[in-house]
């Protein structure tokens, strides 16, 4: 049974999907805002929000978990030094997704994902 198994597959196999989500998450943390398709924004939102919740506790174990996932050490430093303390009092909902017009070439729904 597949009850409550919510995973956005993005029409990719496991390896490429994980690599895409890692790259999107790293880019979002470093830049703070990015434009992508709506489905990719929804997929990366859950990943980033889990890591922001983890980064609220600045410890060596958390740093190692973040280094295992993110491609860039600058992203880990930004999570632990800026974003974690910034959202310490917030219970969740660290990002927002704003829908945009469809892309001209393939009519894909575009969106901006940014930190609140």
**What is the chain's pLDDT, residue by residue, as a tens digit (116 residues)?**
888 888 889 999 999 999 999 999 999 999 999 999 999 999 999 999 999 999 999 999 999 999 999 999 999 999 999 999 999 999 999 999 999 999 999 999 999 999 99
Please report whether residue 43 resides in a domain: yes
CA pair distance 29, 1, nearest whole angstrom: 35
Q: What is the pLDDT of residue 9?
A: 92
Please report whether residue 54 resides in a domain: yes
Please report whether residue 37 resides in a domain: yes
Please report whether residue 85 resides in a domain: yes
Edge-to-edge strand ranges of the sheet holding 33-37: 33-37, 109-115, 95-102
Please report whether residue 18 resides in a domain: no
**CATH assignment at residue 52:** 3.90.1030.10
Q: What is the pLDDT of residue 40?
A: 97
CA pair distance 12, 6, nearest whole angstrom: 15
Please report whether residue 45 resides in a domain: yes
pTM: 0.90
Residue-range definition of the domain harbouring residue 71: 33-115
Please report whether residue 59 resides in a domain: yes
Please report whether residue 2 resides in a domain: no
Residues near 105 by Cβ (< 8 Å), separated by ≥ 6? none
Q: What is the pLDDT of residue 73?
A: 96
Dihedral of CA 33/36/42/48: which sign? negative
């Amino acid at each position: 049974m597949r009850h409550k198994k919510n995973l956005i597959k993005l029409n990719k196999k496991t390896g490429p999907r994980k690599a895409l989500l890692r790259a999107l998450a790293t880019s979002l943390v470093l830049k703070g805002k990015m434009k992508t398709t709506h489905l990719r924004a929804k997929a990366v939102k859950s990943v980033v929000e889990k890591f922001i919740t983890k980064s609220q506790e600045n410890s060596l174990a958390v740093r190692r978990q973040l280094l295992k996932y993110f491609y860039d050490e600058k992203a880990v430093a930004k999570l632990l030094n800026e974003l974690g303390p910034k959202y310490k009092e917030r219970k969740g909902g660290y990002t927002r997704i704003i829908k945009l017009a469809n892309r001209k070439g393939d009519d894909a729904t575009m969106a901006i994902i940014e930190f609140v």
